[in-house]
Amino acid sequence: MADTTIPARHSTADGTVFAIILAVSLCHFINDVMQSLLAAIYPLLKDGYNLDFWQIGILTLAFQGTASLLQPVIGLYTDKRPLPYSLPIGMSSSLVGLVVLAFAHSYPVLVMGSMLIGLGSAVFHPESSRVARLASGGRFGLAQSVFQLGGNFGQAIGPLLAAFIVVPFGQQSVSWFTVGSMVGIVVLLRVSRWYAGHLRDRVGRKMPPPMFLPMPRARVITALVVLTILTFSKNIYMASLSSYYTFYAIDRFGVSVQGSQLMLFAFLAASAAGLVLGGLFGDRFGAKTVIWFSILGVLPFTLALPYANFFWTNVLAILIGIILSSAFSAIVVFAQELVPGRVGLIAGIFFGLAFGFGGIGAAALGVLADQRGIEYVFWLCSFLPLLGLLTIFLPDMSRASGRA
């Protein structure tokens, strides 16, 4: 098997290790800037193409559904046959998707461009997550959070770029961002060479014993189902904000399109900060503790959001972004510890679930928004963090580590 649990090395001061983690984080930033541009220009597309909310949801579903379906398949394949040079290929697919979005003249072409960006994400995420873990030196939570920080910061900066570049200069200005994806392709070529060399060095090397004792199959399956449900609750709620927060702000408070995108930026930037905190606290206190705090701890703020005025809406959205986003790296690391040797598959499944739940949720919430209004959608979604109570069914990995 090409990829197994790596040794827990604590000498993470090696510059090459941090260079690789920062490189894949940078490329995650570029990848997610391209993704977030799609959601950030939804108000522009809605007016320009006279779209309904359900059509906006279908665009999200086309992008996230493609990524969701393909990521686990790619992760499973690359666990057995790693493909280091697939990373720049995935970035190239997203580049083509941007060009298609920039020059689309019909709704079906917009859907096609969304799917190409989704394909690029499906190729990028499992392998780059594996690279981050290989370069982690055993600090898996920190490596995953730094890797995901790039993605979240890219999602956060997308609305700003849309507000100050795409809105003033029009849809075709989306193509200007292909310059960033070209930079990403060059960086990923260097990462791929490091990754290929790392794989060559591991040939014939005796692998270390697992950090955790194997658990009964039924308990592992139960834990993975719980983690899946938690991912569902987190990403459906995040989809309600990332896809419809701008419309909610415009409808309820009468802010401008640019003003709503600045509000979306504040929420997404807070989510990026929460990722880093989640990784640091996960390495220190354990992934389960972070999951408890994140999914269930955000509940008072989500319940208050539908009733807040303009000022408190901004404050609550920032707090929700920080707390809720801290869970994802903990969920991924927890799942990888449950199923050692399947880093790519687990990353593919959970990144895929994140995209899939977000896409399906965006489409369903769009239909609901057309029927009941956007404020009703935000009220209904406020109860989703209650599913965090299921964390009680997760095993205590610290005990398993001690026994191992």
What are the pLDDT digits (tens) for 240-254?
887 788 888 888 898
Query: What's residue 373's pLDDT?
Result: 87
Highest mean pLDDT among 20-29, 226-235, 324-333, 395-404: 20-29
Query: What's residue 172's pLDDT?
Result: 84
Phi, psi of 234 (to 5 degrees): -65, -45
Architecture of the domain spanning 15-204+214-403:
Up-down Bundle (1.20)
Contacts of 9 (CB under 8 A, 6+ apart): 137, 138
Pick from 90, 109, 102, 95: which is nearest to 175 by CA? 102
Query: What's residue 351's pLDDT?
Result: 67
What are the pLDDT digits (tens) for 72-124?
788 778 878 888 899 999 999 999 998 998 888 889 999 999 899 889 988 88
**How many whole angstroms separate alpha carbon 287 and alpha carbon 264?**
28
How many Å separate Cα 382 from the centre of its chain?
Answer: 20
Query: What's residue 245's pLDDT?
Result: 87
The enclosing H or E element of 266 equals helix 257-285
Does the predicted model carry a pTM greater than 0.85? Answer: no
What are the pLDDT digits (tens) for 173-204?
888 988 989 999 999 999 999 998 888 876 65
Percent of the chain with pLDDT over 90: 16
Pick from 2, 5, 3: which is nearest to 213 by CA? 5
Query: What's residue 404's pLDDT?
Result: 46
Residue-wise DSSP of 29-98: HHHHHHHHHHHHTHHHHHHHHT--HHHHHHHHHHHHHHHHHHHHHHHHHHHHS--TTHHHHHHHHHHHHH
Query: What's residue 95's pLDDT?
Result: 92
Task: Name which residue leads in pLDDT, 350 or 227.
Answer: 227
Phi, psi of 280 (to 5 degrees): -65, -45
